[in-house]
Amino acid sequence: MPRKLLLEHDKVEGIRHIDTYMKHGGYRSVEKALKKMTPEEVVEEVKKSGLRGRGGAGFPTGMKWSFLAKPEGVPRYLVCNADESEPGTFKDRYLMEYLPHLLIEGMITSSYALGAKVSYIYIRGEYRWIYEILETAIEEARAKGFIGKNILGSGFDFELYMQPGGGAYICGEETALLESLEGKRGNPRMKPPFPAVKGLWGCPTVVNNVETIAAVVPIVNDGGDEYAKIGIGKSTGTKLISACGNIKTPGVFELEMGLPVEEFLNSDEYCGGVAHGKRLKAVVPGGSSVPIVPAGLFYKNIKGEDRLMTYESLADGGFASGTMMGSGGFIVYDEDQCIVRNTWNFTRFYNHESCGQCSPCREGTGWMLKVLDKIEHGKGATMEDIDLLWDIQRRIEGNTICPLGDAAAWPVAAAIRHFREEFEWHVKNPQLAQTKSYGLVGETKYETASA
């Protein structure tokens, strides 16, 4: 059986309540950290674990923590990024909904390690019912003495607050999140200074994803070395993957890093394979921002080796033939799905969610949407429009303050790179493309007008 470090008890009746949660070993990491460890020792265990940020960027958490500035007399903050809004991603929601105390416990232990006396959970406004679940959990933790003054006699004072967002994808970017938490529009900040030096209200701040903070609990309980035994190379521990699209059993799964992607997609323990007996066309394995890959490049890398669920293996081949683990938002497309339509849809998303601060993103996403609209809806697009689309995405990538620009460019680039003939088919057959889908690459089911 694969090991579960986060979702071990997700199905236990009453696990949302602190008594049941504690009966199953809950809050041990708080006891251990506050009574037997110094904050530095906790940071050291997280470094040893090899844990990498689970929000999408995959930056080593221990290193991020060690960058936190500690000037005398200035408060420090830990902010939990629960603004989950990357299309395809719903893993944090699951964790918070079923195991709210795991997040609260992780927040207390992590705040102790960072010397944060006040911390916030910034949760997307749409997750209203989860907000209530977490508030109740915080009250229960306070009643047990895990939050408040002099926790467990350790001298550590700690307060934990909830903050709702207002509906903006961009607030999942950590500096936009901090702006939003300060009561402003979610416009990302220029870095440097990094939040570790100047974050919330100008104070040193660490922003971590929900799953990252939850993973600190098993790391402190069992030790960083034990955590690092799971996985391959620099992809250690377990990862939550939210799987959706055209699969038999969509849902949230915890897997050990290193699981072959073939097994994840096709075994009944996970996705159960492509639904309705159809064939696989493409996969977006890490949320809408990461490059889409056709079935062939998904199962095996360019060298013919099996791809694994690790940061490195999914990225193998770079953007030419690989993709990214991203947020773990795993979207599966069957043979009947239209790549052009999906690209148009994602571009509409990024255009809608661009904060408007940087012109390459603000204008570029709009231009891409116009071109894609022409191609997708048969409005007289030409072959040059495909090149124009390529040109626009290239000019957005790398030219914006935050990664939303890249996130908007990559799906377009990958779609053209791997599915160019499907775009060309749309241009050549504007009417047919309104009623039929192109099918699998190299296997067009419909007669194509001569070029």
Partner 1 sequence: MHSTKPSHSKAAVVFTPEMMAQVEHFTKQYPAGKQKSAIIPLLHIVQKKYGWVSVEAQDKVAELLQLQPIEVYEVATFYTMFHLHPVGQYVLEVCRTGPCMIVGAEDICKYLENKLGIKEGEITADGLFTWRTVECLGACGYAPMMQVGDNFHEYLTPEKMDKLIGDWRNK
Summarize as ranges the residues that interact with partner 1 (CB under 8 A).
75, 84-90, 92-93, 120, 124-129, 159, 161, 163-169, 180-186, 201, 242-246, 250-252, 288, 329, 331, 333, 337, 341-342, 345-346, 349, 352-353, 355
Residue (184 or 379) nearer to partner 1, CB: 184
Name the DSSP letter for residue 57: T
Residue 345 CB, shortest distance to partner 1, in Å, is 5
Amino acid at 424: E
Amino acid at 68: L
Residue (93 or 426) nearer to partner 1, CB: 93
Residue 171 CB, shortest distance to partner 1, in Å, is 9
Element (DSSP H or E) covering residue 293: strand 293-294
d(C-alpha 450, C-alpha 296), whole Å = 28
Residue 222 CB, shortest distance to partner 1, in Å, is 29
256 three-class SS: strand
Q: Which class for 125: exposed (0-12), middle (13-18), buried (19 or more C-beta within 10 A)?
A: middle
Residue 256 CB, shortest distance to partner 1, in Å, is 21
Two tokens, residue 4: 């579960």
Residue 136 CB, shortest distance to partner 1, in Å, is 14
Two tokens, residue 370: 């116009």
Residue 444, C-beta contacts closer than 8 angstroms, at least 6 positions apart: 425, 438
Residue 191's CB is within 10 A of a number of other CB atoms, namely: 13
Residue 169 CB, shortest distance to partner 1, in Å, is 7
Residue (126 or 363) nearer to partner 1, CB: 126
Residue (32 or 362) nearer to partner 1, CB: 362
Q: Kindly report the CA angle at 142 between 136 and 146, in degrees rounded to 5?
A: 125
Residue 182 CB, shortest distance to partner 1, in Å, is 6
How many CA within 13 A on the CB side of residue 92? 31
Residue (30 or 284) nearer to partner 1, CB: 284
Do 381 and 371 contact (CB within 8 A), yes or no?
A: yes
Do 378 and 430 contact (CB within 8 A), yes or no?
A: yes
Residue 180 CB, shortest distance to partner 1, in Å, is 7
Residue 130's CB is within 10 A of a number of other CB atoms, namely: 22
Amino acid at 260: P
Residue (35 or 352) nearer to partner 1, CB: 352
Residue (166 or 398) nearer to partner 1, CB: 166
- b/e code 243-275 from CB counts within 10 Å (16+ = b): bbbbbbebebbbbbbbbebeebbbeeebbbbbe
Residue 444 CB, shortest distance to partner 1, in Å, is 20
Residue (33 or 325) nearer to partner 1, CB: 325
Residue (66 or 437) nearer to partner 1, CB: 437
Residue (185 or 362) nearer to partner 1, CB: 185
d(C-alpha 335, C-alpha 274), whole Å = 10
Residue (221 or 342) nearer to partner 1, CB: 342
Q: What is the CA radius of gyration of the chain?
A: 23
333 three-class SS: strand
Residue (29 or 337) nearer to partner 1, CB: 337
Residue 400 CB, shortest distance to partner 1, in Å, is 18
Ramachandran quadrant class, 377 (left: phi over 0; alpha: psi -120 to 50; beta: rest): alpha
Residue 302 CB, shortest distance to partner 1, in Å, is 26
What residue ranges in 124-164 does DSSP mark as E strands?
159-164
Residue 127 CB, shortest distance to partner 1, in Å, is 7
Do 237 and 49 contact (CB within 8 A), yes or no?
A: yes
